[in-house]
């Protein structure tokens, strides 16, 4: 068997076995051949190739079964979770709308051009370079407008966060 080890390793790699998988199969082959109590084998090379191919097939079949079993288990486990309604409650919706309204209110305090640039960039998805060309301003000016808008959003968020009481540890 040691005489054909390199050939068998190439044989397994040609069948897309990983290096670890190929080494495991060759180890199994060595044990299997060592445990044989039969007489002389007429074609030892062909015999080793056949056993190696069978070991690879068995390993792939058991891996496929394991994957199928795990997939079924996950599908079953997720089925129980799918019954849970993940829609926000009415209270959560009202709070989110109120927070959004406050963010919009802070954006309304900004110059019209700043909110227009923010809308073009974040909502319409227009690149900053194209915004600068459309409005006839520099790219740096577009970036400064966006910075002002982002600062307004950050301030509004900070005000909202400050209103939420932090629970104290006993």
pLDDT tens for each residue of the chain, 170 residues long: 788 999 999 999 999 999 999 999 999 999 988 888 777 888 889 999 999 999 999 999 999 999 999 988 887 777 655 556 677 788 888 888 888 888 888 888 999 999 999 999 998 999 999 999 999 999 999 999 999 999 998 888 888 777 766 556 65
CATH domain 90-163 topology = Arc Repressor Mutant, subunit A (1.10.10)
Q: Report how far residue 122's alpha carbon sits from residue 60's, in angstroms, rounded to the nearest whole number.
A: 49
Nearest residue to 144 (alpha-carbon basis) of 121, 110, 114, 105: 114
Residue intervals in the chain for CATH 1.10.10.10: 90-163
**Predicted pLDDT at 169:** 60
Q: Which of 3, 7, 9, 46 has the alpha carbon at shortest distance from 27?
A: 9
């Amino acid at each position: 068997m040691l005489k054909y080890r390199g050939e068998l390793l190439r044989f397994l790699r040609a069948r897309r076995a990983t290096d670890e998988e190929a080494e495991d199969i060759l180890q199994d082959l060595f044990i299997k051949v060592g445990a044989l109590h039969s007489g002389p084998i007429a074609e030892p090379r062909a015999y080793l190739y056949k056993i190696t191919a069978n070991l690879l097939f068995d390993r792939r079949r058991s891996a496929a079964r394991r994957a199928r079993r795990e997939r079924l288990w996950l599908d079953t486990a997720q089925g129980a979770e799918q019954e849970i309604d993940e829609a926000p409650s009415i209270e959560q919706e009202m709070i989110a709308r109120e927070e959004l309204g406050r963010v919009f209110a802070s954006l309304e305090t900004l110059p019209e051009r700043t909110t227009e640039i923010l809308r073009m960039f974040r909502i319409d998805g227009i690149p900053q370079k194209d915004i600068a060309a459309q409005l006839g301003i520099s790219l740096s000016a577009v970036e400064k407008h966006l910075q002002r808008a982002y600062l307004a959003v950050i301030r509004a968020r900070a005000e909202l966060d400050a209103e939420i009481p932090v629970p104290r540890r006993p």
